[in-house]
Amino acid sequence: MADCIFCMIINGDIPSTKVYEDEYVYAFRDINPQAPVHVLVVPKVHIACTADIDESNSVYVAKAYEAIAKIAKAEGLDAGYRVICNCGDDAGQTVKHLHFHILGGVKMTEKMV
Ligand code: 5GP
Ligand code: ZN
């Protein structure tokens, strides 16, 4: 999508600090980290949010979670980490390209669930 910043990051049109990449996903450090480790994992196709996941694109979600496991190990998050995926305005999604936040490196106390 032409006006999507995460599509531009995937294409290299906007610089990012790459953490991991494969055929399905691209992962990079969040520009405004909320924890010592804050990585964003995004599918290499434009899916707006979880509401648009279906059988035609769910392989990207499975591959994102495979990547999350690899990245968490590589980042040394052996004590645990949180994966967050915001969908829509009520959840506070600001970039309308599906992404998974990996947050770790600190003991988290506040939680919704
Ligand atoms: P959301 O609120 O949509 O779940 O999360 C979007 C995330 O993208 C935010 O944590 C924000 O800091 C991050 N972000 C927005 N623009 C950029 C950017 O240009 N580069 C990087 N690395 N992260 C970004
Ligand atoms: Zn996009």
pLDDT of residue 1: 84
Q: Which ligand 1 atom is nearest residue 94's CA?
A: 3
Could you tell me the pTM of the whole model?
0.97
pLDDT of residue 112: 78
86 lines ligand 1 (CB under 6 A): yes
Report how far Cα 88 is from the mean position of its chain's Cα atoms.
Answer: 15
End-to-end CA distance of the chain: 33
Give the count of beta carbons closer than 10 Å to the beta carbon of residue 16: 19
The reply to whether 97 belongs to the active site is no
Mean pLDDT confidence for 53-74: 98
pLDDT mean across residues, the chain: 97
